[in-house]
Structure 1
Amino acid sequence: MKLVIIGAGFAGMYAALSSARLRDIQGISPDELEIILIAPEPSLVVRPRLYEPKPETLTAPLLDLFAAIDVVYVKGSAETIDTAGRKVHTTDADGTRQTVSYDRLVVATGSRLFRPNIPGLAEHGYSADQLADAVTLDRHIQSLATAPATKGRNTVVVAGGGFTGIEVATEMPARLRDIFGSDVETRIIIVERGAVIAPAMGTEPRPLIEEALRKLGVETRFGAGVASLDATGVTLTSGERIETSTLIWAAGMRAAPLTAQIAAERDNFGRLLVDQALRVSAVPAVFATGDAARAACDDLGHYALMSCQHAIRMGAFAGHNAAAELLGLSTKTYHQKAYVTCLDLGEAGAIFTRGWDPKVEMIGAVAKKTKQEINTAWIYPPRAERAAALAAADPERVIEL
């Protein structure tokens, strides 16, 4: 029997761990149930931290972990999925093609930043979405130190006033000061089409976020979007022109394109609709998880968000359930009633909230300490020691924050 997982992000990694855990509990050998993970690189990109400097350091190796739990790693990108023949066709960086058959498939392909067809965005926009994007952005920011001193050089525009946009923008004052020194006047401007900052975070945290932005000198433009951009500036839909050589796009996510190859219903974000066990009901033998799946967290109408917090737990359930089906065992119902956020606000600290109607529990330096602990410890892979790694993937495990 073969269980194949596509993707080595948070959901894919925990799907591998969890399926290996159930195999171990049942006393099944790796020869009887082979667990295979397909990804371009055997490493976890710590995506929630890509707004930080030196993003090339923000990866964690996975080969030793996979070896410790008897998971087979296949290097390559999944190009096509043949659900009728139960095969995945891959291509690696050298163009080598490979076909991997499966008895159960877990699609954990993650998400990508949505980039609309705005004139100049592809040529002149930056992002902190994928690792390569973040490295390009970081190099660009570093290069500003040797660029002619102009208003445009000293101005950063962030398109999107959601979670990612805020973290990117509030990190910028310190980053620019490190490059230019404290005597150079800089501007950071968040452009948000909606009427308020952090529209998805609810009303209670908003005044604290607004105060942090004021403290850091971050400007905002609401009710406007980016109409076009070029090498010297951005034109907003309001007609305002902002001189800048740095536009960072942080407005909207979509499931990775591979999900479109599954002949099943998807939501507006491209996520596959799944049942309570994270099965893609319309397609036999296929599960979806993480940012690739639209999954109900409870019976109250809450659905998993595109976040590592949800991806980790969803991955654990998807891996367990895919293995359980192959072994003739009962599956588990995915649930995730607890929901917290910890929003980094740069030198203004952070905000920690709890609940779907977010209630603020920590602010400032205390919340910042929690954010740093989350970012540097909790979201990293478990150590490559079999018992500890498998224990970390119990789908019913709850991390108390």
Structure 2
Amino acid sequence: MAQRIVILGAGYTGMTAAMATARRLRRKDVQITLVNPETRFTERLRLHQTAAGQELKNLQIPEMVAGTGIAFVQGRVTGIDLDGRVAHLDGGRTVAYDILVYALGSVTDIATVPGVDENAYTLNTAAEARRLAERLAAVDSVVVGGGGLTGVESAAEIAETHPGLRVVLLSRDVPGSMMGEKARAYLHAGLKRLGVEVRTGVEIAKVLPDAVELADGERIETGATLWTTGTRVSPMAAQAGLTVDDRGRIVVDETLRSVSHPEVYAVGDAAAIRQPYGVIHGTCQSGIPTAAHAADAVARQVTGRQPKPFRFGYIHQPVSLGRRDGVIQFTRPDDTPRGLYLTGRWAVAYKEFVSSSPWKTYGLLKKYGGAVAWSHGGRATRTA
């Protein structure tokens, strides 16, 4: 019987895993099924643009996988039966597998601070980003909670698109703290140029419908709050019985197989992947190479070969500051900054290349497989 390969999740990692697996096993007797709740592909790297009111291309997953032999199933995963090797979907449906690739990713954590769930917007989905865009058109101020790279890009994009809007970026740490001194200074100068009010060393205690309350009791009035700090993964892996770490991520071996269930591979934010410098932190830069490697590992398993160990090193920290400015900090493999960085139009061009529309990237994956994914990520085991 044909080997049944099921990929759960069609974000950047799930799509990469599906397309690269299909390419590698195109002449083998396999059935590849890709499961996702929506038919539209979500460009999560660009949701801050959606939140600012910009329209992105409507990329449809069924069109993207057409001609690859991948069967697309629209559905939300509700559970996994590891003993029966079945994924349960909404509506009582099931999808059986011999090999499972778990690519369900992560979302912004809305449970750590009171009021976030009820009163703040996130960039978890395109629909929520669009709701924020509608709200921004009707208010005169917005607070962005979290000074990580998502918070910085969001604040800059909103400020550039809505020059009359008061944009306040609140952060416990200094934005860009992981960068070198010169790149970080450029980032802050760019935020200042756009009129973003940056406040560091603050702790948000509560999010209200019309304000943010700080730990020291100060209240900052706002027409909308965007929450960008902290992430969490679905509890589904733990509930199914997979071995997970203290954050709920699937613990994998050096080939990206679950240490408790070797028929399951985990990629991207959903996996706890250890390298010599520590556990990889979730970014698209690291996620896409994990998916390409998993595709190679699955192909090797199906054809009776031994999967290779995964190796990864970071190469950059790319940050857009609106559509016309940016800063790229190049890094060592452990993500610490090198002396080299790019700014201005060169940074914009570089950022657009590494986060370019997946339509072209996945089209190339149909033809060439994992090498394309590797070129848009970090230093990984090249599997082409």
Q: Which residue of 2 aligns with 1:215?
A: 193
TM-score by length of 2: 0.88
1:169 and 2:155 are equivalent in the alignment: yes
Mapped pair 1:157 → 2:180: no
The answer as to whether partners of 1:18 and 1:394 remain within 8 angstroms in 2 is: no
Structure 1 CA distance for aligned equivalents of residues 362 and 114 of structure 2: 46
Show the counterpart of 1:57.
Answer: 56
Matches within 5 A, 1:305-384: 305-346=281-322, 349-355=325-331, 356-359=335-338, 360-377=340-357, 379-380=358-359, 382=361, 384=363
* Offset, 1:21: 2.1
Structure 1 residue 294: deviation in Å? 1.7
Query: What's 1:256 paired with?
Result: 234
How far, CA to CA, are the matches of 2:256 and 2:187 in structure 1? 35
Contact 2:155–2:167 (CA<8 Å) still a contact in 1?
Answer: yes
* Cα distance change of structure 1 residues 90 and 282 upon mapping to structure 2, 3 Å threshold: same
Alpha-carbon spacing, 1:165–1:246, altered in 2? closer, same or farther (3 Å)? same
- Pick closer, same or farther for the CA change 1:64–1:176 going to 2, 3 Å: closer
Equivalent position SS for 1:60:
coil
Task: Output the TM-score relative to the length of structure 1.
Answer: 0.85
Contact 2:327/2:347 (<8 A) preserved: yes
Select 2:133's aligned residue among 116, 138, 145. Answer: 138
SS at 1:57 equivalent: coil
Q: CA deviation at 1:100?
A: 1.1
Choose from 247, 269, 272 the match for 2:250.
272
Shift of 1:157: 0.9
Measured in 1, the distance between the counterparts of 2:377 and 2:298 equals 27
- Which residue of 108, 119, 141 maps to 1:124? 119
Residue 313 of structure 1 contacts residue 395 of structure 1 at CA under 8 Å; is this kept in 2? Answer: no
Residue in structure 2 matched with residue 23 of structure 1 by the alignment: 25
User: CA, structure 1 residues 130+289, in 2 after alignment: closer, same or farther (shift >3 Å)?
Assistant: same
Distance 1:164 1:123 in 2: 21
Deviation at 1:399, TM superposition (A): 4.7
282-291 or 253-262, larger mean C-alpha shift: 253-262
Do the aligned residues in 1 keep the contact of 2:108 with 2:123 (CA within 8 Å)?
A: no
Which residue of the partner structure matches residue 382 of structure 2?
A: none
The alignment covers a number of residue pairs equal to 370
Counting aligned pairs with the same residue, the percent is: 30
Deviation string, structure 1 residues 156-212 (Cα, Å, up to 9, x no partner)? 1111000000001111222223xxxxxx5x422111123x22334454532222222
Deviation (angstroms), 1:214: 2.2
In structure 2, C-alpha distance between the alignment counterparts of 1:268 and 1:136, rounded to whole Å:
33
Does residue 97 of the first structure (1) align with residue 92 of the second (2)? yes
- Closer/same/farther in 2, CA of residues 230 and 65 from structure 1, 3 Å limit: closer
CA RMSD of aligned residues (A): 2.4
Which of 8, 14, 22 is the matching residue for 2:10? 8
Query: Where do 5+ consecutive residues of structure 1 fail to align?
Result: 145-152, 178-183
The aligned amino acid for 2:35 is I
Question: In structure 1, what is the equivalent of residue 381 of structure 2?
Answer: none
Conserved in 2, the CA contact under 8 Å of 1:215 and 1:348?
Answer: no
What SS does the corresponding residue of 2:59 show, helix, strand or coil? strand
Asked if 2 retains the 8 angstrom alpha-carbon contact of 1:90 and 1:98, the reply is yes
Structure 2 CA distance, aligned partners of 1:369 and 1:213? 19
C-alpha distance in 1 between matches for 2:252 and 2:180: 27
Aligned residue for 2:69, secondary structure, equals: coil
1:309 deviation in Å? 1.8
Alignment of 1:235-254 (within 5 A): 235-254=213-232
Q: Quick one: which amino acid aligns to residue 217 of structure 1?
A: G
Map Cα deviations across residues 315-350 of structure 1 (whole Å, 9 max, x no partner). Answer: 111122123223312212222224222101126710
Deviates more, 1:125-134 or 1:48-57: 48-57
- Over 3 Å counting, the alpha-carbon distance change for 1:176 and 1:65 in structure 2 is closer
Q: Quick one: distance in 1 between partners of 2:300 and 2:39?
A: 25
Larger Rg: 1
Deviation (angstroms), 1:222 = 2.0
Residue 372 of structure 1, CA deviation: 2.7
- Runs of 4+ aligned residues of structure 1 deviating over 6 Å after TM superposition are none
Which residue does the alignment assign to 1:83? 82
Whether the 8 Å CA contact 1:162–1:200 is kept in 2: the answer is no
Query: Equivalent residue for 1:198?
Result: 176
3-state secondary structure, aligned to 2:95 = strand
Moved more, 255-264 or 357-366: 255-264
1:147 aligns with none
Q: Secondary structure of 2:150's match?
A: helix
Q: Aligned to 1:354, what secondary structure does the other structure show?
A: strand
Query: Residue 133 of structure 1: CA displacement?
Result: 1.5
> 1:232 corresponds to which residue?
210
Q: Distance in 2 between matches of 1:245 and 1:314?
A: 40
1:150: which partner in 2? none
2: CA distance, partners of 1:302 / 1:284:
22
When structure 1 is superposed on structure 2, of 341-350 and 14-23 the one drifting more is 341-350
Cα deviation 1:288-327 (Å, max 9, x = unaligned): 001111213x43x144332222221111111221232233
